Amino acid sequence: MKFILLFSLFIMPIVSVAQMDTAKKETEKKAHWYDKVAIRGYMQARYNRLLETNPKLKNEQGDKSWGEHGGLFIRRMRIIIYGQVHERVFIYIQPDLASSPSSTVLHYAQLRDAYLDLGLDKKNEFRLRLGQSKVPFGFENMQSSQNRVPLDRNDALNSAVSNERDMAAFFYWAPSKVRKLYAQLVSDGLKGSGDYGVFGGGVYNGQTANKPELNDELHAVARLTYPFRIGNQIIEPGIQGYTGHFVIPTDQLTAGVKTIKDRNYLDQRAAASFILYPQPFGIQAEYNIGKGPEFNKLTDSIEVRNLKGGYATLTYLIKYKKQTIIPFLRMHTYQGGKKQETDARSYNVNEIEPGIEWQPIKNFELTVMYTMSERRFEDFKVQNNFQSGNLLRIQAQLNF
């Protein structure tokens, strides 16, 4: 009997531990890649016509519900599928279920992002990004519309890449501590851009997202930026640039407009960025110069012309109990062409936009912005077209 008792006391615990290890291994074997994938998203609904003074004032690049025939409008309906499916493989897929390719066609499903990040080291400090993704040019272009304070991106830098994306192969590098800071700047509500590396660069088609390559010549881009602390403040300066050739698609041309023979135009820009994250006062400013296709009404032709423009956004972050309130003011200017629009439409834009963002709970935001705009936008069909006016814009955003 003593022998049996000793056996029970010493052997049975060992058997129990072995059984637990076996069960753990079986559980691990049952884990699948989709157990490491998460889903999130957001929706933005807008109305832009309160206190409107000029229904002819339009913004094709930004919100297509500006002006006449605009009403209640779903600006974005994004669902994001993402996850670290392997210690060195991260996936990101984002369709937009309310894409609006024109002012007369609304709420179409369209792919925004579909890429993988391949880590080249154990810490994933060095990464290759392959697929359709944002082109690393400009801070506000990188910043998610879910986080951005003004309702639309600025014309000046956003005109570089329609929808900010293209089919591409990019290399990104950032130390682990900086990658953690990038994530923190977003999670803490400081309106960060996300993690696009301290250095990012590579090649992309150059015809912009969801459009085929037309000249068998890739664009090249590079961006260098670094966030650092000064006391309680975080500052992030940056520089970036790209070069390539853009082919004007035939369905983007008005009958009678003149082009060069192969419609293949030089397309290059350089930009500087300065970000002071709002703690509580913030500044976000960028400026770019370059060359690109632009309609010239004096010759009725599309020519390579100089472009320039930028913006500055001032913010003040207020935390009240569990609510977030951000008054802001953005000033914006741009002179140049927009290669993705009809006849590489020529623009001269000047805008001032005061507003306020209110987030009473994490899942809901309300933004009210008053836009005072002067826009000259001309193509072969519509020339001498200068429009100015004011409008009060309201957006409700659902986060989930």
CATH of the domain at 295: 2.40.160.10
Query: Do residues 135 and 172 lie in contact, with contact meaning Cβ atoms separated by under 8 Å?
Result: no
For 206, the token pair is: 């150059």
Query: Do residues 164 and 158 lie in contact, with contact meaning Cβ atoms separated by under 8 Å?
Result: yes
Q: Which domain holds residue 254?
A: 39-399
* Residue 7 counted as domain residue: no
Q: Which H or E element spans position 139?
A: helix 139-142
What pLDDT score was predicted for residue 305? 98
DSSP label at residue 102: B
CA 337 to CA 298: how far, in whole Å?
15
Q: Which H or E element spans position 28?
A: helix 2-30
* Residue 98 counted as domain residue: yes
Q: Show the CA angle centred on residue 237, arms to residues 231 and 239, nearest 5°.
A: 165
Q: How many residues does the chain have?
A: 400
From residue 143, alpha-carbon distances to 6, 109, 271, 377 in Å are 67, 22, 16, 26
* Residue 388 counted as domain residue: yes
* Residue 322 counted as domain residue: yes
What pLDDT score was predicted for residue 34? 79
Q: What is the 3-state composition of the chain as percent helix, strand, coil, each rounded to the nearest 5?
A: 15, 55, 30
Query: Do residues 155 and 340 lie in contact, with contact meaning Cβ atoms separated by under 8 Å?
Result: no
Q: Does the pTM of the predicted model rise above 0.85?
A: yes
* Residue 28 counted as domain residue: no
- Domains contained in the chain, number: 1
For 129, the token pair is: 């990004």
DSSP label at residue 123: T
* Residue 214 counted as domain residue: yes
What pLDDT score was predicted for residue 24? 54
What pLDDT score was predicted for residue 7? 42
* Residue 1 counted as domain residue: no
What pLDDT score was predicted for residue 87? 94
From residue 359, alpha-carbon distances to 149, 364, 368, 396 in Å are 11, 6, 12, 10
* Residue 114 counted as domain residue: yes
Residues of the chain with pLDDT under 50: 2-15, 17
* 17 Cα distance to chain centroid: 51
Query: Do residues 311 and 285 lie in contact, with contact meaning Cβ atoms separated by under 8 Å?
Result: yes
